[in-house]
Structure 1
Amino acid sequence: MKNYRFIKEAFLLMVIVSMFVSCAEEVENPSFDSDELPRIFGWEQLYGTNIEDSLKIAVQVSPSDGVTYSWTLDGVEVSTEPTFEYLFDDPKTYEVHLAIERNGVPNTRTATVEVNQPFIPKDYAKMMVGFLTSAGSISDVDFSSLTHLVISSAVVDEVAFPETIVDTTFADAMNIPQIVQSAHNAGVYVMLDVTDDMAAITGGGLYGDVTFFDAVADADKRAKVLETIMKFAVDNQLDGVNFYLNDTWGGPGSLDAAAIGAFYAAVPDYLPEGPGPDGEFFYSVSVPGGWTTSLLSPLAAVERIDWVNIQPYRYEDLSPTSHSPGWAYTSLADTWIGLGVPAEKIVGGFPAFGLKYDMPTDGTVVGWGNLWMFATYHTYKEILSMDAEAYSKNMLSVDDGLFYDGHPAVTEKANAVLSQGYGGMMMWSIESDTKDPETSLLKAAYSALGNN
């Protein structure tokens, strides 16, 4: 028994000694060569702070002996301390850069800083709504020429997304939190566009694709779609949603007007609270021109809809002509007013793209089935690259004519908004425009509406 106790006590002593030796080894400081790269730990790509609070960035550098620090904001050095602490003057986006050096060996990091203020919507004479697709980014947006930014789009498609019905993966690439903060800092509302699949340049639906309609025709699926959309909007601090049923004709089996009306009428029950003048969450819709208007007409009876974005463009023809004529602008507005939408809820759309005709000369007969071979769409940026003075015109003599909205057409349509009492204008899409103040369509429209 004594031998057993002695062995047990000896074993415990060995364990204790081993633990002390192990701890001593763990706390021993590592050694570094003089030319070792100083590594930076704890760095983030995006920092945020409120205008009334200081931003503090405390990183760890190893090895840290003899390290010098240089912190710059938008290229200007503001600190040489190991820890960055700064109180900003303006609510906007900054670039913060850290440069360190140890024995002549450098290392750097760069990040974005969003300095936020309480959201105070800007005052405006008329709405200027701009759509931004996933083909663009925040760098394309001129917030000073917008009142409402609509991010496009969450695609409704039960076939492609049977589990969720709604695809919102576009949000990962667009960095929606940064867009929302930048917009709110500028007093601009941000909304989510909900659509079917479509062509990014024109915003037109894919012919025969009625997956959005098929999903919302069923009450249970419709509820899942709306719950998903509203949760996404709330989670991302959005201010509203825009629904665009962008292909209402798909042949046999396409939805009828009653089913479409049931969808629009169901939306208000799912709307959360929002930042509107009376605490409302914005609810708008987009409607194309043409033969589909009758199917969408039930939305006119939904009083909760805040405004209707009309799209009097993409009017192709078998002979070269404008796809966005002025007469179509007022005609489509009159149609919806006649269906019961108040004039002040009409937001007239104009395109940041043009249609070029290159008709065949070999005797080929052009019909609706092959027109696409001879009529192509081009962004406004592309049009400006063809002619630097294109902003002062509405048509270029390229091939059989390139028709688009330049400043003359935009001004004409803005005047119609003012004279007819419409709610404002919308543009598809922001990334196809230019931010150059002399040539930008968005800026021209914003100013022509009387906004300062």
Structure 2
Amino acid sequence: MKKIVAIIAVALILFQLGCSNDKEYTFDSDFYPRIFDNGNTFTSPNRIVEEGASVNFNRLSFSPSPSKGMEISWKVNGQHVSSDTAFVFTPPNGGGEFEVTLEASFKGNVSTRKSKVLVSPSTYAPKPFDQIALSYLTENGNASFIDWKQVTHVAFNGARVLPEGGIDFSKGDLNQVTDELVARAHLNGIPFLLSVSGRLSGVDGWALYNNSDFGDVISNPTLMAQLVTTLVDYVERKKIDGIDVLMTDLSNDDAAIAGRNAAAVGPFINALKAALQPGKLVTATVTTNYLHWNYTDLSQADWIHVRAYDDGAHVSPGAPLGQSSTLDYMISSAAVWTNKGFAKNKLVLGMPAYGIRYDELDSDGNNLSWGSYTNVSYTSILQASSDADAYKKDYLPNIGKGVYYNGVVLIKEKADYVKEQGFKGAYLWAGDYDVKDNRSLMATIKANIK
């Protein structure tokens, strides 16, 4: 015990001597100044705030201290604004993106910390458009996947309905994904929609097989009312422009449940429209199979997204290989809803940024089984191909046992049809499967319907 006490005493003496010596320490010309971020001020490289909010850069310490010759410079977008050891950044009105830089200089040596501050404007004016060109992001999407010049609207699948009636917003709340999408959308004059759905199966955005989480909730008046309240609160608080009801959650085996779920979409949309502030959008993404007859009145929806791709004719056991998202299929899918009484100027037709890769074939050269194909993103297809012209094509024989998809040529044909026929526009599922160069499917859509 005496040994331990002695060791502690020696340590305290050395610590005190060290502190005393630090006051007399002479920093040579090779010493780089140190910035100690005691409050994790610069831990996150990005801050996203609403207009009117300030950002504090504090709880910092420096070695050597300013009294020993340290020079401090705070800069906003490269312009010096302060020499203090702490800084409060109050952005100008109107929103925008700013880079805040801290420079600590000593004898010509400079240490730097940086942070970007994205300020979401309190109001914005949506850009005018002729027809809608909407990039629809999956739950794994974020603002980095959007070329804001190539869209008129953006939707993000950031609200997952839970079986008990709650909502999982975690995909959008993590790292402020939703906040950044709202801010960047509004800075670019783009309306942003929150997509609400049940559990989805994967790349194709279809419902998880035999799942009815969303349908069960909106078919229950009490749970539906709770769901509306939660969604409206989130949308208003986040300054989101509206909600898309991604209703592919119809159930697969039980026709009665599937029909019930489809029938619940209309009342759900009506309730959302009534609860949201005037001017907020409410849209619906709907199927084109036999269940379209079960949808009730959708007249309160601002427009309808028609899932006009993926005919399902080439994936069953023994099915012939082929293109599942032809122009003809899109035309027939649109006709399902025009025949139901919807005007073309209320329909936004879907196009895919993914394809079907066949992995195993039977002895006749057809698809082997339900598990012998894979839905793959357009980005993955381009990355897997050595063909520089793959983006212009819609079939590549050398990826797996062959892959069928939509390239820019087929997407242009579809976009031309949308424009010529006077539909409200087109959407791409999914924006995070696309690329942002001359091979972009979203850019092809926008260029041909503007």
Q: Identify the TM-score tier after normalising by the shorter chain.
A: 0.7 to 0.9
Counterpart pick for 2:304 among 304, 308, 313: 308
The Cα of 1:293 is off from its aligned counterpart by 2.5
The aligned counterpart of 1:392 is 392
Letter in 2 for 1:255: I
The Cα of 1:107 is off from its aligned counterpart by 5.2
The aligned counterpart of 2:3 is none
Sort the Cα spacing of 1:248 and 1:403 in 2 relative to 1 into closer, same or farther, 3 A. same
Secondary structure in 2 aligned to 1:447? helix
The aligned counterpart of 1:59 is 58
Sort the Cα spacing of 1:287 and 1:79 in 2 relative to 1 into closer, same or farther, 3 A. same
Sort the Cα spacing of 1:87 and 1:305 in 2 relative to 1 into closer, same or farther, 3 A. closer
The aligned counterpart of 2:194 is 192
* Alpha-carbon contact 1:154-1:192 (below 8 Å) kept: yes
CA–CA distance in structure 1, aligned partners of residues 430 and 76 of structure 2: 32
- Does 1:250 find its partner at 2:252? yes
Secondary structure in 2 aligned to 1:416? helix
Q: TM-score, normalised by structure 2?
A: 0.80
> Could you tell which deviates more after superposition, 96-105 or 245-254?
96-105
Sort the Cα spacing of 1:102 and 1:292 in 2 relative to 1 into closer, same or farther, 3 A. farther
Sort the Cα spacing of 1:54 and 1:230 in 2 relative to 1 into closer, same or farther, 3 A. closer
CA–CA distance in structure 1, aligned partners of residues 338 and 59 of structure 2: 63
Residue segments in structure 1 that go unaligned for 5+ positions in a row: 1-28
The Cα of 1:315 is off from its aligned counterpart by 2.2
CA–CA distance in structure 2, aligned partners of residues 94 and 109 of structure 1: 14
* Alpha-carbon contact 1:351-1:429 (below 8 Å) kept: yes
Secondary structure in 1 aligned to 2:351? strand
* Alpha-carbon contact 1:356-1:378 (below 8 Å) kept: yes
Sort the Cα spacing of 1:249 and 1:90 in 2 relative to 1 into closer, same or farther, 3 A. closer
* Alpha-carbon contact 2:207-2:249 (below 8 Å) kept: yes
- Does 1:69 find its partner at 2:48? no
Secondary structure in 1 aligned to 2:257? coil
The Cα of 1:447 is off from its aligned counterpart by 1.0
The Cα of 1:335 is off from its aligned counterpart by 0.8
Counterpart pick for 2:155 among 150, 155, 159: 150
Secondary structure in 1 aligned to 2:157? strand
- Does 1:136 find its partner at 2:141? yes
Taking the TM superposition and a 5 Å limit, the aligned residue runs for 1:300-339 are 301-316=297-312, 317=314, 318-339=319-340
Sort the Cα spacing of 1:172 and 1:131 in 2 relative to 1 into closer, same or farther, 3 A. same
- Does 1:126 find its partner at 2:125? no
Counterpart pick for 1:210 among 190, 209, 212: 212
CA–CA distance in structure 1, aligned partners of residues 412 and 401 of structure 2: 25
The Cα of 1:60 is off from its aligned counterpart by 4.9
Secondary structure in 2 aligned to 1:371? coil
Letter in 1 for 2:146: V
Q: Deviations over 1:373-394 (max 9, x none)?
A: 1x21211111222133222122
Letter in 1 for 2:144: S
Q: TM-score, normalised by structure 1?
A: 0.80
Tell me the matched-pair count. 404
The aligned counterpart of 1:231 is 233
Residue segments in structure 2 that go unaligned for 5+ positions in a row: 1-19, 28-32
The Cα of 1:30 is off from its aligned counterpart by 12
Identical positions, percent: 22
Secondary structure in 2 aligned to 1:144? helix
Letter in 2 for 1:100: A
Secondary structure in 1 aligned to 2:135? strand
The Cα of 1:424 is off from its aligned counterpart by 0.3
CA–CA distance in structure 2, aligned partners of residues 186 and 177 of structure 1: 14
CA–CA distance in structure 2, aligned partners of residues 391 and 69 of structure 1: 51
Sort the Cα spacing of 1:58 and 1:262 in 2 relative to 1 into closer, same or farther, 3 A. closer
Q: Deviations over 1:123-147 (max 9, x none)?
A: 1111111111232221111111111
CA–CA distance in structure 1, aligned partners of residues 57 and 366 of structure 2: 70
Letter in 2 for 1:67: M
Letter in 1 for 2:442: L
Q: Deviations over 1:326-379 (max 9, x none)?
A: 011111111101112211111011011111224425579856xx2331x21211
Secondary structure in 2 aligned to 1:120? coil
Sort the Cα spacing of 1:147 and 1:260 in 2 relative to 1 into closer, same or farther, 3 A. same
* Alpha-carbon contact 1:243-1:286 (below 8 Å) kept: yes
- Does 1:100 find its partner at 2:97? no
Taking the TM superposition and a 5 Å limit, the aligned residue runs for 1:8-87 are 32=23, 37-40=34-37, 43=41, 45=44, 46=47, 48=49, 50=51, 59-63=58-62, 64-65=65-66, 66-71=69-74, 76=78, 78=80, 81-82=83-84, 83=87
Larger radius of gyration between Structure 1 and Structure 2: 1
Letter in 1 for 2:342: V
Secondary structure in 1 aligned to 2:102? strand
Letter in 2 for 1:39: F
The aligned counterpart of 1:347 is 348
Counterpart pick for 2:116 among 88, 112, 115: 112
Letter in 2 for 1:428: W
Letter in 1 for 2:390: A
